Amino acid sequence: MTSTFLPDKRSGPDTAPPAPAGGPAPGRARRRVLHWLTAVSFQVPALALFGLLVLLPMLFALYASFFRWGGFGMPSDSIGADNFTRLFDDPVFLGDLWRCLVLVVFSLALQLPFALAMAVLLNQRLRGRAFYRMLFFAPYILSEVITGILFSMIFAPDDGLADHVLGGVGLDGIGGEWFSDPSTVMATVFLVMMWKYFGFHMMLYLAGLQSIPAELTEAAIVDGAGPWQRFRNVTLPLLAPTLRISVFLSVIGSIQLFDLVWVITAGGPDHHSETMAITMFQYGFKRYQVGYASAISVVIFGISLVFALAYQRFVLRRDLEGATTTMRGGGQ
């Protein structure tokens, strides 16, 4: 079908074929160096900015993490890997890891399925769907600070909107301390995260849904598949690449969570909503244990990187293989 030879292109009879590249070997070598220099010169501004303000600070954090250091002058009191061993004995940091895991599980079990359900719903022809899309996505645009303050007032104990609404429908028992009770703070933080971020995942899914060819769904209808079967056997497999990306972004977001929680609770009460980044911030900017804080930075980056590499290796790779293996495997 597709011909590679298109004679009716604009090339008139008078355009001579380009002169054969090359010539004598030294000239070619010089030209290659010149070509390389041209290509790299376009990279210089980006490399300078990135090297100075992203790579250098990260390398410096790695260096400083091997010192006991208050953040002034150059680090001199080398203590080997003590900061790292201390980190994994620190109950607050171990708690951070646990809370991170909890948030990841909550996100995967509640937030993303909810976002998917809303995306499927809003992918149909419904009155007002443009409005709902816009409304559900709008919180994503707001800054974490504004969202955080808004909800710290809505969930204000006894006096906030949440308690008034629950009281109004006779559910006073559920309301209460919200962010100031150690047993409810994480659940409340998660509610706010869901309010703010589910719309983003929904938009990703909507973009993915729209790229599914309508013929496939129509073919499934012709074959007598019901709505659930169509979703399970057509939509979901074709949406898998989008889902994997969304899971990835959600996990990385949970690992690096800072602004929202910092504004609402600053990690309290008594560390019960603290995240790794908040612990780092506390040590680095409040207690001036910069060496230790750098070690936390390094560990957060290390966890992100290991997760990213493993995810790419074991999960995202399937996006490439899947296309061939599922074809061969038939309807598994």
Partner 1 sequence: MTIGQKRRGRSLPLHVVLVAVGAVMGVPLLYAVFSGFKSTDQLSRNPIGLPDPWVSSNYTGILGSGDFWRMLGNSTLIAVGTTVLVVAVSALAAFSFARFAFRGREALFTLFTMGLMFPFAVAVLPLFLLLRSMDLLDNPLGVILPQAAFGLPMTIVILRGFFREIPAELEEAATLDGCGPFGFFWRILLPMARPALGTVSVLAVVGSWNNFLLPLLVFSQPDWWTIPVGVQQFQGQYSSDTARVFAYLVLAMVPALAFYSVAERQLVGGLTAGATKG
CA–CA distance, 35 with 93 (Å, rounded to integer): 51
Tokens of 238: 């074709």
Does the footprint of partner 1 cover residue 316 (CB under 8 A)? no
Whichever of 44 and 328 has its CB closer to partner 1, that residue is 44
Choose the stretch contacting partner 1; rule: CB under 8 A; options: 90-98, 102-110, 181-189, 240-248.
240-248
Q: Judged by CB under 8 A, which stretch of 20-28, 39-47, 85-93, 216-224 contacts partner 1?
A: 39-47
Query: Which of 93, 119, 123, 144 is close enough to bind partner 1 by CB under 8 A?
Result: 144
Pairwise CA distance, residues 68 & 74, whole Å: 11
Q: Which is nearer to partner 1, 49 or 101 (CB)?
A: 49
Q: Percentages helix, strand, coil for the chain, rounded to the nearest 5?
A: 70, 0, 30
| Six token digits for residue 2 | 């597709």
Q: Is 277 in the site for partner 1 (CB under 8 A)?
A: yes
Query: Of 19, 21, 25, 46, which lies in the binding site for partner 1, with binding defined by CB under 8 A?
Result: 46
Which residues touch 152 (CB under 8 Å, ≥6 apart)? 179, 263, 264, 265
Q: Which of 23, 27, 28, 50 binds partner 1 (CB under 8 A)?
A: 50
Closest CA to 190 of 240, 142, 155, 141: 155
User: Least distance from C-beta 114 to partner 1, angstroms?
Assistant: 9
Nearer to partner 1, 96 or 332 (CB): 96
Alpha-carbon gap, residue 111 to 114, rounded angstroms: 5
Q: Side chain identity at 214, as an amino acid letter?
A: A
Shortest distance in whole angstroms from residue 262 CB to partner 1: 8
Q: Is 35 in the site for partner 1 (CB under 8 A)?
A: yes
Among 82, 212, 247, 258, binds partner 1 (CB under 8 A): 258
- How many Å apart are CA 190 and CA 106, to the nearest integer? 8
- Residues between 198 and 227 that touch partner 1 (CB under 8 A): 199-200, 203-204, 207
Query: Given candidates 30, 98, 101, 143, which one binds partner 1 under the rule CB under 8 A?
Result: 143
Q: Applying CB under 8 A, does 109 fall inside the site for partner 1?
A: no
How far apart are alpha carbons 307 and 161 in whole angstroms? 39
In angstroms, the CA 329 to CA 168 distance is 56
Residue 328 Cβ vs partner 1, minimum distance, rounded to whole Å: 26
Q: Tell me which of 127, 183, 324, 328 binds partner 1, using CB under 8 A.
A: 127
Residue closer to partner 1 (CB basis): 148 or 234: 148
Residues 160-189 that bind partner 1 (CB under 8 A): 161, 164-165, 168
Alpha-carbon distance of 192 to 148, in angstroms, equals 8
Interface with partner 1 includes 71 (CB under 8 A)? yes
Is position 310 an interface residue for partner 1 (rule: CB under 8 A)? Answer: no
Which of these segments, 22-30, 86-94, 97-105, 239-247, binds partner 1 (CB under 8 A)? 239-247
Strand partners, 78: 67
Q: Does 138 bind partner 1 (CB under 8 A)?
A: yes
**Checking DSSP bridges between strand 77-78 and strand 67-68, what pairing results, if any?**
antiparallel
Would you say 222 or 332 has its CB closer to partner 1? Answer: 222
Q: Which residues contact 66 (CB under 8 A, 6 or more apart)?
A: 78, 79, 80, 81, 83, 291
If DSSP codes are grouped into helix, strand and coil, which group holds residue 18?
A: coil
